[in-house]
């Protein structure tokens, strides 16, 4: 692996622990002004300091995030459909590599839709970004399994993650599931978990803990942080799980104390 690729990866996976707390705030690209993210920077300005990485779109980055923010960015580079459209899962390439470079991104995030009518398009586009990732040393995060139609068991998630890695993703984002260790075992690149729909803070911390214990290298979490009753307390509790191996009980105590 070339120096530039390793350097950017080390901005994402923190060298001290090899793990990461990514704050996902890209939801607007297909959900519009979703609850908690109506004003993106307002929503996350107090959270950014506790995140290792921000994952967002170029529109929010250019218009809502201060240029002097010293925080690695993973840029969402797929899209093209919405939650009200007929083809929600039919995403394509939305950002040219030139713009990824102009925006000084530390990584790119692309969604693949394994098991849908559009899997071929999305996997071929992922491969195209994998070529560009190698050409310019910019890590590629493959996002798997977004959409409620898709199964979220170890068999499906293991398949989707493995396919992403086989096509050149450097990191994979997926959901937590029973037998998650099997998903991790079958995937030759590091895995981070999405949080999914908002659930009680205690349960989200338990999920993050279980994922880490079973081999995930971190979280790329959105709604369970920015929709929490206290997002700043929640992200600190998540950090404790990811970077300090805090148990769910210890992390929940941190949440209670900080809120």
Known catalytic residues?
173
175: number of Cβ within 10 Å? 21
Work out how close the CB of 186 gets to ligand 5RP at its nearest, in angstroms, rounded to a whole number. Answer: 21
Q: Which is nearer to ligand 5RP, 29 or 252 (CB)?
A: 29
Contact 226, 256 (CB under 8 A): no
Return the SS3 of 240: helix
Q: Which is nearer to ligand 5RP, 146 or 172 (CB)?
A: 146
**45 CB-contact burial (10 Å; exposed 0-12 / middle 13-18 / buried 19+):** middle
Q: Which of 113, 108, 122, 120 is nearest to 77 (CA)?
A: 108
Q: Which is nearer to ligand 5RP, 35 or 49 (CB)?
A: 35
C-alpha gyration radius of the chain: 17
Work out how close the CB of 106 gets to ligand 5RP at its nearest, in angstroms, rounded to a whole number. Answer: 16
Point out which residues pair with 140 in neighbouring strands. 108
Work out how close the CB of 188 gets to ligand 5RP at its nearest, in angstroms, rounded to a whole number. Answer: 21
Q: Which residues bind ligand 5RP (CB under 6 A)?
A: 24, 26-27, 55, 111, 143, 146, 194-196, 220-224
Q: How far apart are CA 117 and CA 115, in angstroms?
A: 7
Beta-strand runs (E) in the chain: 20-24, 53-56, 73-76, 78-79, 92-93, 107-112, 140-144, 171-174, 191-193, 218-221
Q: How far apart are CA 175 and CA 146, in angstroms?
A: 9
Work out how close the CB of 193 gets to ligand 5RP at its nearest, in angstroms, rounded to a whole number. Answer: 8
Q: Which is nearer to ligand 5RP, 72 or 195 (CB)?
A: 195
Q: Which is nearer to ligand 5RP, 34 or 185 (CB)?
A: 34
Work out how close the CB of 210 gets to ligand 5RP at its nearest, in angstroms, rounded to a whole number. Answer: 15
């Amino acid at each position: 692996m070339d120096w530039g690729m390793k350097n950017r990866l080390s901005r994402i996976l923190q060298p001290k622990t090899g793990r990461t707390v990514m704050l996902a705030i890209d939801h607007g690209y297909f959900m519009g002004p979703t609850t908690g993210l109506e004003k993106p920077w307002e929503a996350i300005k107090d959270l950014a300091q506790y995140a290792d990485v921000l994952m967002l779109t170029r529109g929010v980055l250019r218009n809502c995030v201060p240029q002097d923010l010293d925080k690695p960015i993973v840029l969402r580079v797929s899209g093209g459909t919405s939650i009200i459209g007929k083809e929600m899962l039919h995403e394509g390439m939305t950002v040219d590599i030139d713009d990824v470079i102009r925006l000084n991104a530390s990584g790119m995030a692309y969604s693949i839709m394994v098991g849908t009518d559009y899997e071929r398009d999305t996997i071929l586009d992922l491969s195209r970004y994998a070529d560009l990732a190698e050409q310019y040393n910019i890590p590629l995060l493959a996002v798997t399994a977004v959409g409620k139609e898709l199964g979220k068991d170890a068999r499906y998630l293991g398949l989707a993650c493995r396919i992403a890695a086989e096509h050149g993703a450097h990191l994979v984002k997926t959901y937590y599931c029973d037998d998650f260790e099997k998903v991790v075992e079958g995937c030759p690149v590091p895995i981070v978990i999405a949080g999914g729909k908002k659930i009680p803070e205690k349960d989200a911390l338990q999920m993050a803990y279980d994922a880490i214990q079973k081999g995930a290298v971190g979280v790329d979490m959105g709604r369970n942080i920015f929709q929490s009753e206290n997002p700043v307390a929640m992200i600190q509790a998540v950090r404790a799980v990811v970077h300090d191996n805090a148990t769910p009980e210890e992390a929940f105590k941190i949440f209670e104390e900080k809120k």
